[in-house]
Structure 1
Amino acid sequence: MVRNVLGSLIALVGATAAVWSPFRPWYDGRHGSDVRIEDLFNGLTDNGATLFGSLVLPMVFAGLLTLAGVVLRSRLLVTLAGLVVLGFTVLWMVRQGQHSGELTAGTHGLGVGVANALGGGALLILGALVMRGRTRRVPAHEDDEYGDAYDDRQPSPYTPHRPPPAPWDPGPPPTQEWHPEPYGPAPGAPGPHTPTPPVEWGRDQPRPGPEPGQDDRPTWPGGPQPPPNDPPNDHGPTGPGRP
Structure 2
Amino acid sequence: MVRNVIGSVLALAGATAAVWSPFRAWYDGRHGSDYRIEDLFGGITDAGAEAIGSILLPFAFAALVTLIGVVLRSRLLVALAGLVVLGFTVLWMVRVGQAEGSLTVGGEGTGLGDGVANAVGGGLLLLLGALVMSGRGRSRDTRLDGGYAPAPTHPTLDGTGPPAPYPGPPSAAAPTRTMEQPRWDRQDPDLQQWDAPDPHQEPDGPYGPPRGPQP
Q: Deviations over 1:182-224 (max 9, x none)?
A: xxxxxxxxxxxxxxxxxxxxxxxxxxxxxxxxxxxxxxxxxxx
Measured in 1, the distance between the counterparts of 2:11 and 2:140 equals: 28
**2:154 equivalent to 1:166:** yes
Measured in 1, the distance between the counterparts of 2:100 and 2:92 equals: 12
1:36 and 1:3, CA in 2 relative to 1: closer, same or farther beyond 3 A?
Answer: same
Measured in 2, the distance between the counterparts of 1:29 and 1:18 equals: 18
Spell out structure 1 runs of 4+ moving beyond 6 A.
Answer: 138-144
The answer for the alignment partner of 2:70 in structure 1 is 70
**2:88 equivalent to 1:55:** no
Amino acid at match of 2:98: Q
Q: How far apart are residue 167 of structure 1 and its match?
A: 1.9
Q: How far apart are residue 52 of structure 1 and its match?
A: 1.1
Partner SS state of residue 129, structure 1 = helix
Normalising by the residue count of structure 1, what TM-score does the alignment of the two structures yield?
0.60
1:171 and 1:137, CA in 2 relative to 1: closer, same or farther beyond 3 A?
Answer: closer
**2:46 equivalent to 1:46:** yes
CA RMSD of aligned residues (A): 2.4
Radius of gyration: which is bigger? 1
**2:139 equivalent to 1:122:** no
The answer for the alignment partner of 2:182 in structure 1 is none
Q: Which shows bigger deviation, 70-79 or 104-113?
A: 104-113
Q: How far apart are residue 169 of structure 1 and its match?
A: 3.6
Q: How far apart are residue 166 of structure 1 and its match?
A: 2.0
Partner SS state of residue 105, structure 1 = coil
Identity of aligned residues (%): 69
Question: How do 1:83-122 and structure 2 match up within 5 A?
Answer: 83-106=83-106, 107-122=109-124
Any stretches of 5+ residues in structure 1 without a counterpart?
A: 149-161, 173-243
1:169 and 1:104, CA in 2 relative to 1: closer, same or farther beyond 3 A?
Answer: same
Normalising by the residue count of structure 2, what TM-score does the alignment of the two structures yield?
0.68
1:134 and 1:6, CA in 2 relative to 1: closer, same or farther beyond 3 A?
Answer: same
Question: How do 1:177-216 and structure 2 match up within 5 A?
Answer: none
Count of matched residue pairs: 158
Partner SS state of residue 147, structure 1 = coil
Amino acid at match of 1:124: L
**2:149 equivalent to 1:147:** yes
Q: Deviations over 1:215-242 (max 9, x none)?
A: xxxxxxxxxxxxxxxxxxxxxxxxxxxx
Amino acid at match of 1:168: T
Measured in 2, the distance between the counterparts of 1:12 and 1:140 equals: 32
Any stretches of 5+ residues in structure 2 without a counterpart?
A: 161-215
1:139 and 1:29, CA in 2 relative to 1: closer, same or farther beyond 3 A?
Answer: same
The answer for the alignment partner of 2:137 in structure 1 is 135
Contact 2:141 2:149 (8 Å CA) reproduced: no
Q: How far apart are residue 135 of structure 1 and its match?
A: 1.1
Measured in 1, the distance between the counterparts of 2:6 and 2:49 equals: 37
